[in-house]
Amino acid sequence: MASDESGFKVHGSLKKSYLHDLCYIRVLDKGNESILFVKDEKIVGAWHLDIESLEEFYENKAIEVMFIGPESQIEIYKMSSKLFGTIIELNEESKLSLPVSIDFIMDRYNANNSSDRDKLLLQYRIREPSEMDVEKLIDDYTK
């Protein structure tokens, strides 16, 4: 599936600010491919291809079996309303009966944070240097 509209790629992270009112998200992970059709921050359609079994999944099952990991490649494509309507119509089997909020995917995979910096700093007891610490280091270095 391709779109004439603009698109871009990210790896393993997804932010709501990347999304357009009408777009599709293509997730590639270890050869598996998932596509989420998004309208106004709601997933209205989903499709997934398992590369090992060549089995296709649609609707909610596609959302259940998809995976977003740190190495996943995520492509986001903006679509016009006419193109979006046509794609959804042609892919009727992937249409969800009830739309799902995109937050569900982001929360499930923590996809909008590749790592929580504050938690890591706390876990390893690393503290950020204060301005006074930096000034002392500079003073010690220049002496």
> What pLDDT shows up at residue 110?
64
Q: Residue 21 pLDDT > 80, yes or no?
A: yes
pLDDT digits (tens, 9 = 90+) for 48-76: 999 889 999 999 899 888 888 778 888 88
Does residue 18 carry a pLDDT above 80?
A: no
Q: Residue 114: is its pLDDT beyond 50?
A: no
Share of the chain above pLDDT 90, in %: 20
Kindly report, residue by residue over 82-106, the tens digit of the pLDDT. 999 898 888 889 888 888 888 888 7
Alpha-carbon span 9 to 50, nearest angstrom: 21
pLDDT category, 8, cuts 50, 70, 90?
A: low
Strand positions, DSSP E, the chain = 7-11, 22-29, 32-39, 42-50, 55-58, 73-78, 95-101
Instruction: Please spell the DSSP secondary structure of 64-87, one letter per residue.
Output: HH----TT-EEEEEE--HHHHHHH
